[in-house]
Chains A and B, each alone.
Chain A
Amino acid sequence: MDIFVQQLINGLTLGSIYGLIAIGYTMVFGIIGMVNFAHGDVFMLSAFIALIFFLILTTWLGISSVALALLIVLVIAMVLTSLWGWAIERIAYRPLRGSFRLAPLISAIGVSIFLSNFVQVAQGARNKPTPPMVRDVIVLFQGESGYNVALSYKQIIIMLTTAVLLTVFWYLVQKTSLGRAQRACEQDRKMAALLGINVDRTISLTFVIGAALAAVAGTMYLLNYGVVSFNDGFVPGVKAFTAAVLGGIGSLPGAVLGGLIIGLIETFWSAYFSIEYKDVAAFSILAIVLIFMPSGILGRPEVEKV
């Protein structure tokens, strides 16, 4: 029981991070029907941006309040990563729009290889550890075997930030004119363009929002694990994509739900079965879901048009 509750907490924390990345995949897939392969690496890049700004704020500017530093880091990382998302779309994907279907996918793989090697060249190949930023924990209760079930402050921060930002972005997509334009482009790009929607701008903004949420995930990842390296983008990226598919690609609540489920499965698998095969478990789920339930939990079934 005590291990179960502890793993539940850990799984929800991890799941929040996956959910945030998954939204970027699901929105881009919904609007232009491509798997943005570089999204995992954008996430990794944002973790590096957050790491560097955290160091600048704490060591050079001497900000002692961790909460304030984290807030500033989060905002800066979101802004700069959004710019990266915009630039990537502008350079690598926009010229290929309306072209051959495989071209954007190959281009995205190219961006992914470029980004991870760019960070490796710019920042070095070694793991970058940070001093633990938030140490305090709340002991919830003591289990039978004397094992403390703890909820750490950083886990609370991660889950709260995720929840708040998700609400904000959900409002943005559901209630504002930008969100309406986005959903219109998703349904029929040509018609949307005829009705006066700037399709290019809408797609750019989709990438910007996706990158901003990836930056939140990157900052939270850094806060949770305290270490980041240049090749940390690939596996979380594929897992987040799994989450997006599991929840039903194109559906925002689905992406978050999928993220939480993947996070829970991964932590429980590590706790009760084998930690070596946790990635195998996540990848197998992807295959199984796609084979038996291709439209996911909350997605709409795809209609085959002749």
Chain B
Amino acid sequence: MNAPSITTSSAEETQVPSRFNLQAALKDAFKTALITLALSIPILSYKTEQNGGELFLASRWWLVAAVVGIIFVLRVLEHAFLATKASRKALPDPHQATEPVHAEPSAYQKVSRFAIPLFLGVALSFPLLVYLVQGGLNESRYFVDLGILILTYVMLGWGLNIVVGLAGLLDLGYVAFYAVGAYSYALLSTTFGLSFWICLPLAGILAAFWGMILGFPVLRLRGDYLAIVTLAFGEIIRLVLINWVDLTNGGAGISSIPRATFFGVPFTSGDDGFAALFGLDFNAMHRYIFLYYLILGLALLTNFVTMRLRRLPIGRAWEALREDEIACRSLGINTTNTKLTAFAIGAMFGGFAGSFFAVRQGFVSPESFNFLESAIILAIVVLGGMGSQIGVAIAAIVLVGGPEMLRNLTFLKAVFGENFDPNEYRLLLFGAGMVAMMVWRPRGLISEREPSVILKERKAISGSLVKEGHG
């Protein structure tokens, strides 16, 4: 499986002309446009419309012409860009020959020195900043909600990072544990009336328990096989949630889940409510800001536990397992227990995030836990650079916040007409973006890793030296 890479790069890559050759570029762009034309027949050129029970076709050749035209121009621009880049590269860099091997701290180390306090500061003061910018509590609702959403994914990303980034076990069904956490809180609170603060640890324990149950049979599997089996488990849990109507109320979901309380004090306008207790005017936003700090706290807890675990023997065993399982076994590490703890601890944080999700929404249904969610979380981990905590946070902001920005692009309606809904294109662009990011940086945004153990001085480990685990 791990065949060394063969340098059979395609023609364009090896024969990049040092000067921009307009004729060749146009010829190539013409070819690309021709292929695009063929690809868009018939899926773009004809739209199937329904009229009663009958299907009929509507032509849209103008759309095909536009797409082909755009592709043609983009391809020419790409050639021009590559040519300028290549000609710049051809000039020798004065520092090239004399550059020592380990001189400067790497870009990652430089960035991490400022980035971590900066991120933490912005995250902690985010509601205040939004309040100041938007000029009111009610106006800042949208941004606080977006912050909560992003932080939920940051937490999920950090949780999955334990399994994928540290232990090197590829898990495509992480959303199952998120679902277990959410349903644990939903069911425990609606049937037994338990409060959020009792349910939160219980949801974590239940999710960890499920992590062990699902982890146990798949221990022998490696790599892509493990990915597919975890995907299957994720789907099984979702299908059971849909079909076990007696317990879960099926596809209709569970509604009217009790809201979060401020350690027992409810966010109501009554005399015993949060606002009255602290002598504030009642505002529904108090609850959202509390939820924001709750998820921030949970996410930071995840991060803190992960950072600490990396220094413990178990964390070192995870990383050793990721680097080389056979060497691990020959050194006497119990790989079964190591993998199971990774699954269980990763699942536990998924469960915490799930019960937070339930308390925030007040409603859970199986449709919130489909494969796309798992794919988004895994994409966050991989794009962040597996194992890098700050990278995961950046990737979550880009992948969750970016598509969310699309909702606000209402000015595009002026360009494309009234029927244009940018929201429809959210997942389309998300998928294309995932491919583009992988092609651009296959090892993620921050591919360098900080060593867990250091002798004398701290050096970053370049991404090209890091292995990614086999299963």
Q: Which of A59, A100, A193 contacts B57 (CB 8 A)?
A: A59
**Distance in angstroms between the alpha carbons of A97 and B2 in the assembled complex:** 11
Q: Is B442 at the interface (CB under 8 A from chain A)? A: yes
Q: Which of A29, A100, A279 has the most CB of B within 10 A?
A: A100
Given A110-B431, A110-B434, A280-B239; A291-B218 close (CB under 8 Å): yes
Q: How large is the interface on B (under 10, 10 to 19, 20 to 34, 35 or more residues)?
A: 35 or more
Contact B43 A114 (CB under 8 A): no
Contact B35 A87 (CB under 8 A): yes
**Distance in angstroms between the alpha carbons of A87 and B35 in the assembled complex:** 8
Given A101-B223, A113-B431, A117-B428; A96-B42 close (CB under 8 Å): no
How close is A48's CB to chain B, nearest CB, in angstroms?
6
Given A49-B43, A294-B225; A100-B443 close (CB under 8 Å): yes
- Within B377-412, the residues touching A (CB, 8 Å) are 378-379, 382-383, 386
How close is A54's CB to chain B, nearest CB, in angstroms?
10
Q: How large is the interface on A (under 10, 10 to 19, 20 to 34, 35 or more residues)?
A: 35 or more
Contact A280 B221 (CB under 8 A): no
Residues of B within 8 A of A101 (CB): 1-2, 223, 468
Residues of A within 8 A of B430 (CB): 110, 113, 117
Please, what's the 1-or-0 string for B194-228, where 1 marks a CB less than 8 Å from any CB in chain A?
Answer: 00000000000000000000000110110111011
Please, what's the 1-or-0 string for A242-270, where 1 marks a CB less than 8 Å from any CB in chain B?
Answer: 10010000000000000000000000000
Q: Is B121 at the interface (CB under 8 A from chain A)? A: no
Query: Chain B's interface: helix, strand, loop or mixed, by majority?
Result: helix
Q: Is A143 at the interface (CB under 8 A from chain B)? A: no
Given A83-B38, A238-B231; A55-B57 close (CB under 8 Å): yes
Residues of A within 8 A of B372 (CB): 113
Q: Which of A56, A107, A279, A287 contacts B435 (CB 8 A)?
A: A107
Please, what's the 1-or-0 string for A132-167, where 1 marks a CB less than 8 Å from any CB in chain B?
Answer: 000000000000000000000000000000000000
Contact B379 A190 (CB under 8 A): no
Contact B326 A304 (CB under 8 A): yes
- Within B34-76, the residues touching A (CB, 8 Å) are 35, 38-39, 41-44, 46-50, 53-57
Given A102-B468, A122-B44, A280-B240; A193-B8 close (CB under 8 Å): yes
Contact A55 B439 (CB under 8 A): no
Contact B170 A238 (CB under 8 A): no
Q: Which of B233, B431, B432 contacts A287 (CB 8 A)?
A: B233
Q: Is A95 at the interface (CB under 8 A from chain B)? A: yes
Given A92-B439, A105-B227; A277-B239 close (CB under 8 Å): yes
How close is B233's CB to chain A, nearest CB, in angstroms?
7
Query: Chain A's interface: helix, strand, loop or mixed, by majority?
Result: helix
For B234, the closest partner residue in chain A by CB is A283
Q: Is A300 at the interface (CB under 8 A from chain B)? A: no
Q: Is B25 at the interface (CB under 8 A from chain A)? A: no
**Distance in angstroms between the alpha carbons of A160 and B239 in the assembled complex:** 34
Contact B243 A111 (CB under 8 A): no
Contact B6 A193 (CB under 8 A): yes
Contact B235 A238 (CB under 8 A): yes
**Distance in angstroms between the alpha carbons of A190 and B382 in the assembled complex:** 28
Residues of A within 8 A of B55 (CB): 51, 55, 128-130
Given A49-B43, A234-B371; A106-B38 close (CB under 8 Å): no
Contact A284 B236 (CB under 8 A): yes
Residues of B within 8 A of A123 (CB): 43, 47-48
Residues of A within 8 A of B438 (CB): 92, 96, 103-104, 106-107, 110
Contact B220 A291 (CB under 8 A): yes
Given A96-B438, A106-B382, A106-B438; A200-B43 close (CB under 8 Å): no
Residues of B within 8 A of A122 (CB): 43-44, 47
Q: Is B264 at the interface (CB under 8 A from chain A)? A: no
Contact A113 B46 (CB under 8 A): no
- Within A182-229, the residues touching B (CB, 8 Å) are 188-190, 193, 198-200
Given A106-B382, A277-B239, A306-B326; A290-B432 close (CB under 8 Å): no
- Within B16-44, the residues touching A (CB, 8 Å) are 35, 38-39, 41-44
**Distance in angstroms between the alpha carbons of A104 and B434 in the assembled complex:** 11
Q: Is B457 at the interface (CB under 8 A from chain A)? A: no
Residues of B within 8 A of A276 (CB): 239, 242-243
Q: Is B5 at the interface (CB under 8 A from chain A)? A: yes
The 10 A-B residue pairs whose C-beta atoms are closest, nearest first, are A98-B5, A110-B434, A114-B431, A113-B431, A103-B442, A283-B232, A110-B435, A117-B428, A52-B42, A107-B438
A-B pairs with beta carbons under 8 Å apart, 11 shown: A83-B39, A100-B443, A102-B386, A110-B435, A113-B434, A115-B431, A117-B430, A129-B55, A130-B55, A280-B243, A304-B326
**Contacts beyond the supplied A92-B439, A280-B240: 10 A-B pairs with Cβ under 8 Å:** A35-B227, A52-B46, A99-B443, A106-B379, A111-B435, A122-B47, A199-B8, A234-B371, A238-B228, A242-B232
